[in-house]
Structure 1
Amino acid sequence: MREAPQPLIYLDTHVVAWLYAGATRKLSPLAKREIDRGELRIAPIVQLELEYLFELRRVRERAAPVLATLAEQMGLQLCDRNPAHVVARACELSWTRDVFDRMIVAQASINADILLTADDAIRDHYPKARW
């Protein structure tokens, strides 16, 4: 009998930053369970947002080493979906002006994958957002 494939679990930017910083106490119990059971993905724009946060001095490390470390430690992967499809989906998400949130939700929503986020607005508007 074949094992069921692991679900794809997308991570919002703050979740990636917390995991890298070892701040797992900030994760909900459900988020911890989902991280343990799923195949972890991020939208490519998470890399840009992490770099942006570094430039603003809101995180201490550049995006590339953060993602490389989490790839090695947890198997985190950058999603390779067609950017044109992601942008088209993001154009439909008029509930926010935050381009990062639009692209992250769009990436996860194309196949109705789970998105782990503590962001209330995202959880209010994307049915597969979890926390």
Structure 2
Amino acid sequence: MAITDSGSIGSVLCSPASPVPLASSIVAQVILFDIQTPLINGASVELFHHARNVPATITLLESLDRVTGVVLKAKPRVLTKGMSGKIRITIRAGSISETAGLASFSRLPVETFKTNKDMGRVLLRRDGETIAAGIILSYDT
């Protein structure tokens, strides 16, 4: 077995022959919860993936119909409460969580939801509030 990351909390054990990819950005389909402030391009959030929470920046790609998944608008200006959308989440170097004692990093071990349902889920938080949850559609290493 090999450790794909720095060996701290949230690291993933995997076979050296088939390592889990480390992503610097991901594209996710998310649903926004009951949030007070809309989500806009360039918004800073905390990305939670298993035991890891990392600082990230949001780029809005599409707003989607919650039921059918049909694209309602490409490159929307905002996503508001209850909306569904496709977003790019770019991981920033550094760590928000001092309690976890995580080292500085800019990549995260992930899989797409289609490949691995457990490794393909994310949560977004801002100002101590969970604002969205979603699934990973693709990633960039």
Which bracket does the TM-score occupy, shorter chain normalised? under 0.3
TM-score, length basis structure 2: 0.25
More helix by share: 1
TM-score of the superposed pair, with normalisation by structure 1: 0.26
Q: Which structure: greater strand fraction?
A: 2
